[in-house]
């Protein structure tokens, strides 16, 4: 793209944003569903990595202690 004699290059994110704004309503709905699934998958992989690394052990121990102490209530 030329602008006053200079060349402007769109970033990858800008290209994606532009493409998304050009989607039809049906395509946007499909994209949104795909993106939501992608985010859920990323979240699941992060939780799995955190569990394997022991980063959640303290929270699990605290929850078990609260259960044992009868501090739990039904939602």
Domain ranges of the chain: 24-75
pLDDT in tens, 20-61: 999 999 999 999 999 999 999 999 999 999 999 999 999 999
CA 20 to chain CA mean position, Å: 18
Spatial CB neighbours of 13, under 8 Å, sequence gap ≥ 6 = none
Amino acid 18: pLDDT: 96
CA 66 to chain CA mean position, Å: 30
Amino acid 59: pLDDT: 94
Distances (CA, A) of 54 to 40, 50, 61: 21, 6, 11
pLDDT in tens, 5-23: 677 788 999 999 999 999 9
Per-residue tokens: 74:
């039904």
């Amino acid at each position: 793209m030329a602008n006053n004699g200079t060349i402007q290059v769109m970033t990858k994110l800008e290209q994606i944003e532009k493409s998304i704004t050009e989607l039809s309503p049906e395509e946007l709905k499909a994209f949104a569903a795909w993106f939501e699934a992608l985010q859920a998958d990323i979240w699941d992989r992060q939780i799995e990595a955190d569990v394997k690394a022991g980063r959640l052990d303290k929270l699990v121990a605290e929850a078990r202690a609260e259960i044992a102490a009868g501090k739990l209530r039904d939602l």
